[in-house]
Amino acid sequence: MMYAINRCRVTNVIMSNVRSMHLLKEKAFVNGKWSAAENQQTFDVYNPANGKVVGSVPDMDVSDANLAIKAASEAFETWKLTTAKERSKLLRKWFDLLEANAEGIAEIMTAESGKPLTEAKGEVVYGNAFIEWFSEEARRINGEIIPSPVATRKILVEKFPIGVVGLITPWNFPHAMITRKAGAALAAGCTCVIKPAEDTPLTALAICQLAHEAGFPEGVLNVITCDRKNAPDIGKLLCTSPNVAGISFTGSTYVGKLLNQQCAPHIKRVGLELGGNAPFIIFDSANIDKAVQGALASKFRNCGQTCVSANRFLVQENVYDEFVNKFTEEIKKMSIGDGVNPGVNVGPLINEMQFNKVYTMVEDAKKLGATIKTGGQPIENLGKLFYTPTVITNVSASMQVYNEEVFGPVATIIKFQSEEEVLKVANNTERGLAGYFYSQDISQIFRVSKLLEVGMVGINEGLISTVEAPFGGIKESGIGREGSHYGIDEYTYIKYMCVGNLG
Ligand code: NAP
């Protein structure tokens, strides 16, 4: 059985709280102005919890994207000449406004993404922190003087902004995926054309309104909105336009590969944050209660729709039963519903595509003999996109849940015997974003951290993202790092200047 949504169309805005009203924009933002699509088309944004329309935004195409690129390109000529302190001050002002409007942004985010309000508030804190961080990092993009082998020469190294950057972002973190990129780009002196996901453009426009209020010059930050059918053409334009110096993308590995191919002939700078398939390993020596708490946070945040979510729980045989029982009991206590309701900790899936994917994967596991410890079905009385938090055991290598990123509230648990065996299973994937393990054995901690083929490791921790640390993957999970002081490198190039014939 597959689910399709009968959208309940309610025209106009349904935001209940006035706090968010001035942030709820229904135009895109190009060259410092709120703009409609040239062809006047719009598309609706739906609340996944109830299918109602939250707002309508311009359905832009390549002609609008070209205008945004032109504006960003012209703005770059002056923005690149601003001092680090000037950029830092503007970013700080933006951060202060983001902080002052945190509640309103979170309300919009919950309405369009379905994530529980407490989680949305958490994302706003996290997302805002990138603007604060990069307002500080803007003033530390230091050069270097390297000792010259020739007495009459000086070797100077300086970092410069690469130019206009295209930022393409997903729906699962509608705020933080933008600020993690745009904060670094603006700090470095680049200008931006941002294309948010079809499902969550309103959060992007809300934070853009606050950037506008902060006083960024015209054309420095542009947001173009479009629905799914226009995304490939706009993406292609950003990858091939001679006026765009680089692309930063967060989303699926499939689209990331496509963008990488499109950029290759033009030798553009590419930053990719793609899908994961995170192992979550519990060794015999682990503190099981802490492992259960870490597992819950890692798996069920954002209804499991997080690229660093634990995707495969691998539990050593002596603690297997204890972990499975305690984890399952905690999951049964979870409160599922519309994210605006207090106490809800799991919301709906984002759209029918995601819902159908999760539904199909669990049905496949059932058919191939897996055991459903809890959940394993939709919750139709709540709405069309709700799925019960699920635990699956007796998983085999032929099942989709074993091989693919679930991106939903479904935990698969597999028993293992030795460290050697579990490392083989954990690394037997083309993905390499995050990995987690729980162990109290210090030698094992260093050994396993070294051998896990991922860009980020949580050791006795289930939530590890923070602005100070570099976020990114290896293998097919991506190229480059975001956040931290490394994040700026994606948006600068190094220039070597040789001053010769010195007296
Ligand atoms: P997606 O389909 O790749 O979409 C991501 C963004 O790319 C959206 O803005 C989308 O626009 C746009 N897009 C789609 N097709 C495009 C194309 N041909 N050219 C240019 N842009 C295109 O991914 P998703 O379904 O939103 O997100 C789920 C996947 O992203 C998961 O696999 C997850 O692991 C990964 N993810 C990774 C990270 C990370 O940091 N590594 C973070 C979040 C998600 P539309 O919305 O209009 O289609």
pLDDT tens by residue, 364-393: 999 999 999 999 999 999 999 999 999 999
Say which amino acid occupies 322: E
What's the CA gap between 434 and 276, in Å, rounded? 7
Mean pLDDT score, 332-354:
96
pLDDT at position 403, please?
87
DSSP state of 161: E
What's the CA gap between 375 and 327, in Å, rounded? 13
Structure tokens at 195: 């294309």
What's the CA gap between 160 and 494, in Å, rounded? 7
* 171 close to ligand 1 (CB < 6 Angstrom): yes
Which H helix or E strand runs over 148?
A: none
Tell the CATH topology of 10-274+479-494: Aldehyde Dehydrogenase; Chain A, domain 1 (3.40.605)
Q: Which of 195, 181, 78 is nearest to 489 (CA)?
A: 181
Which H helix or E strand runs over 208?
A: helix 201-214
pLDDT at position 17, please?
60
Give distance in angstroms: CA of 198 to centre of ligand 1. 10
| Beta strands 269-273 and 478-479, pairing class | antiparallel
Mean pLDDT score, 95-102:
98
Give distance in angstroms: CA of 136 to centre of ligand 1. 29
Give distance in angstroms: CA of 336 to centre of ligand 1. 25
Whose C-alpha lies nearest to ligand 1, atom 11?
A: 197
Residue 342, Cβ density class (10 Å: 0-12 exposed, 13-18 middle, ≥19 buried): exposed
Whose C-alpha lies nearest to ligand 1, atom 6?
A: 170
Q: Is the overall model pTM greater than 0.75, yes or no?
A: yes
Q: Where are the domains of the chain?
A: 10-274+479-494, 278-466
Give distance in angstroms: CA of 16 to centre of ligand 1. 29
Structure tokens at 474: 């290896």
What's the CA gap between 248 and 168, in Å, rounded? 6
Mean pLDDT over each residue of the chain, to the nearest integer: 95
pLDDT at position 19, please?
64
What's the CA gap between 178 and 124, in Å, rounded? 11
Express each pLDDT in 253-310 by its tens digit: 999 999 999 999 999 999 999 999 999 999 999 999 999 999 999 999 999 999 999 9
Give me the half-sphere count of Cα atoms (radius 13 Å) on the Cβ side of residue 284. Answer: 6
* 163 close to ligand 1 (CB < 6 Angstrom): no
The per-residue DSSP string of 399-428 comes to SHHHHS---SSEEEEEEE--HHHHHHHHH-
pLDDT at position 271, please?
98
Whose C-alpha lies nearest to ligand 1, atom 24?
A: 251
Number of the ligand 1 atom closest to the C-alpha atom of 251: 30
Mean pLDDT score, 174-186:
98
Whose C-alpha lies nearest to ligand 1, atom 9?
A: 197
Whose C-alpha lies nearest to ligand 1, atom 8?
A: 197
Which H helix or E strand runs over 298?
A: helix 288-300
What's the CA gap between 267 and 131, in Å, rounded? 28
Ligand 1 pocket, mutate which of 59, 178, 252 (most atoms under 8 A from CB):
252
Q: What percent of the chain has pLDDT over 90?
A: 95
Ligand 1 pocket, mutate which of 307, 350, 405, 465 (most atoms under 8 A from CB):
307
**CB burial string 394-431: b at 16+ within 10 A, e below:** bbeeebebbebbbbbbbbbbbbbeebeebbebbeebeb
Place of tokens 């931006």: 192
Whose C-alpha lies nearest to ligand 1, atom 16?
A: 232
* 62 close to ligand 1 (CB < 6 Angstrom): no
Whole-number Cα distances in Å, 142 to 155, 281, 480: 15, 40, 20
* 275 close to ligand 1 (CB < 6 Angstrom): yes
Give distance in angstroms: CA of 222 to centre of ligand 1. 19
pLDDT at position 2, please?
40
Please, which residues bridge with residue 44 across strands?
56
> Using only C-alpha atoms, what is the Rg of the chain?
23
Name all contacts of 255-264 with Cβ < 8 Å and 24+ positions apart. Answer: 256/478, 257/476, 258/232, 259/168, 259/235, 260/479, 262/235, 262/236, 263/239
Give distance in angstroms: CA of 170 to centre of ligand 1. 5
Q: Which of 305, 307, 239, 244 is nearest to 273 (CA)?
A: 307
Mean pLDDT score, 6-11:
42
Query: With 60 as the cut, is the pLDDT of residue 250 above it?
Result: yes
pLDDT at position 463, please?
95
Could you say which architecture CATH assigns to the domain 278-466? 3-Layer(aba) Sandwich (3.40)
Give distance in angstroms: CA of 138 to centre of ligand 1. 28
Whose C-alpha lies nearest to ligand 1, atom 17?
A: 232
Query: With 50 as the cut, is the pLDDT of residue 12 above it?
Result: no
Query: With 70 as the cut, is the pLDDT of residue 483 above it?
Result: yes
Q: Which of 424, 335, 461 is nearest to 386 (CA)?
A: 335
What's the CA gap between 320 and 328, in Å, rounded? 12
Number of the ligand 1 atom closest to the C-alpha atom of 433: 41
DSSP state of 250: E
Q: Cite the beta strand spans of 325-455 per DSSP E.
A: 371-374, 390-393, 410-416, 431-432, 434-438
Whole-number Cα distances in Å, 491 to 114, 397, 434: 32, 41, 24
Ligand 1 pocket, mutate which of 167, 168, 179 (most atoms under 8 A from CB):
168
Residues marked as catalytic: 273, 307
| Beta strands 42-46 and 434-438, pairing class | unpaired
Q: Cite the beta strand spans of 324-374 per DSSP E.
A: 371-374
* 232 close to ligand 1 (CB < 6 Angstrom): yes
Whose C-alpha lies nearest to ligand 1, atom 30?
A: 251
